[in-house]
């Protein structure tokens, strides 16, 4: 599979044994969207469980809990199909992560390294924050630096999976290939930012 960064192809999802071919002269930004086929599957499963919960209600009060829980799942899945509700933007400054209309911004220098974590049967692209990001009180791209809540979540995640934060989706890519691509982009643009700021 390929994604284009302003017309320059970057090969992703390569067969085993092939190296990821990421041309770091590519021009950003590029915008990636969640895998809609995956979310459609989750939507169908949630709808089935909502129907089962409703069917249970006359004979079992737990039917309300089942229908309510998976009803929330239906809402979350449905939001993925609304344009611009969720996406990932990679640009020269860093990444913009938007999930259900909630947006977070990180500079490439805020991130120490991307990797892959296995959570159940799912592989996620994850990262650890840089020492500089954790130390500063204000981030250049945010009204606040790492908030108390974000620090607590980072600590919890680090203890649980060994990484401080992660992407909610792989945006149609293989997690390992995507993490490798992000590391290459991060290394290139971090060097450029450090050179220009120094």
Contact in structure between 130 and 61 (CB atoms under 8 Å): no
Contact in structure between 125 and 175 (CB atoms under 8 Å): yes
- The SS3 call for residue 147 is coil
Q: In this structure, what token pair is assigned to residue 53?
A: 């919960």
Sequence-distant (6+) residues with CB within 8 A of 151 are: 134
Q: Which residues of 108-123 are buried (b: 16+ CB within 10 A; e: fewer)?
A: bbbbbebbbbeeeeeb
Contact in structure between 8 and 15 (CB atoms under 8 Å): no
Task: Report the C-alpha gap between 106 and 47 in whole angstroms.
Answer: 35
> Helix/strand/coil (H, E, C) string of 101-112?
CEEEEEEHHHEE
Task: Report the C-alpha gap between 161 and 56 in whole angstroms.
Answer: 36
Q: Which residue has the tokens 């649980």?
A: 160
Confidence of residue 13 (pLDDT cuts 50, 70, 90): very low
Instruction: Determine the pLDDT at residue 16.
Output: 30
CA-CA-CA-CA dihedral for 5, 7, 9, 13, to nearest 10: 60
User: 122-171 pLDDT, tens per residue?
Assistant: 898 999 998 888 776 444 444 445 566 677 777 787 878 889 888 988 88
What residue spans define the domains of the chain? 2-34+86-197, 38-79
CA pseudo-torsion sign 36, 40, 41, 43: positive
User: 42-94 pLDDT, tens per residue?
Assistant: 889 899 999 998 998 888 888 899 889 988 988 887 877 888 888 999 988 89
pTM score, two decimals? 0.65
């Amino acid at each position: 599979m390929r994604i284009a960064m302003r017309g320059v192809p970057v090969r992703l999802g390569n067969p085993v044994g092939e190296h990821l071919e990421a041309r770091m002269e590519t021009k950003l930004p590029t915008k990636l969207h969640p895998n809609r086929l995956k979310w459609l599957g989750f939507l169908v499963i949630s709808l089935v469980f909502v129907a089962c919960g409703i069917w249970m209600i006359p004979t079992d009060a737990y039917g309300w809990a089942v229908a309510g829980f998976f009803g929330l799942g239906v809402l979350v899945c449905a939001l993925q199909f609304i344009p611009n509700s969720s996406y990932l933007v990679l640009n020269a400054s860093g990444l913009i992560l938007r999930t259900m209309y909630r947006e977070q911004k990180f500079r490439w220098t805020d991130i120490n390294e991307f990797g892959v974590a296995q959570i159940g049967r799912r592989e996620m692209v994850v990262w650890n924050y840089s020492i500089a990001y954790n130390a500063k009180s204000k981030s250049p791209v945010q009204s606040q630096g790492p908030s108390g809540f974000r620090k607590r979540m980072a600590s919890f995640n680090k203890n649980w999976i060994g990484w401080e934060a992660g992407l909610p989706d792989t945006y149609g890519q293989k997690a390992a290939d995507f993490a490798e691509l992000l590391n290459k982009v991060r290394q290139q643009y971090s060097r450029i930012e450090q050179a220009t700021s120094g």
